[in-house]
Amino acid sequence: MGAADERVGPPLLGDERETLRGFLEYQRATLAMKCEGLTDEELRRKSSPPSELSLLALVRHLAEVERAWFRRVFEDNGAPMVWSEEIDFQAAYDASRSTRAEAFAAWEAEVEVSRRIEREAASLDLSGRQPRWETDVSLRMVMVHVLVEYGRHNGHADFLRESIDGTVGA
In the 8-state DSSP scheme, what is residue 80? P
Strands (E) across the chain are located at: 127-130, 135-138
Q: How many other C-beta atoms can be found within 10 angstroms of the C-beta atom of residue 66? A: 27
The number of domains in the chain is 1
pLDDT of residue 1: 44
User: Are 103 and 75 contacting, i.e. CB atoms less than 8 angstroms apart?
Assistant: no
Domain containing 146: what range? Answer: 16-165
pLDDT of residue 93: 72
| C-alpha to C-alpha distance for 89 and 105, rounded to whole angstroms | 18
Q: Tell whether the model's pLDDT for residue 30 goes beyond 90.
A: yes
Question: Three-state SS for 117?
Answer: helix
Residue 5 lies in a domain: no
| CATH number, domain with residue 78 | 1.20.120.450
Residue 1 lies in a domain: no
Residue 11 lies in a domain: no
User: Are 53 and 93 contacting, i.e. CB atoms less than 8 angstroms apart?
Assistant: yes
Question: Three-state SS for 135?
Answer: strand
* Stronger pLDDT, 161 or 6, i.e. the higher one: 161
Residue 2 lies in a domain: no
Residue 7 lies in a domain: no
- Single pTM value for the model: 0.92
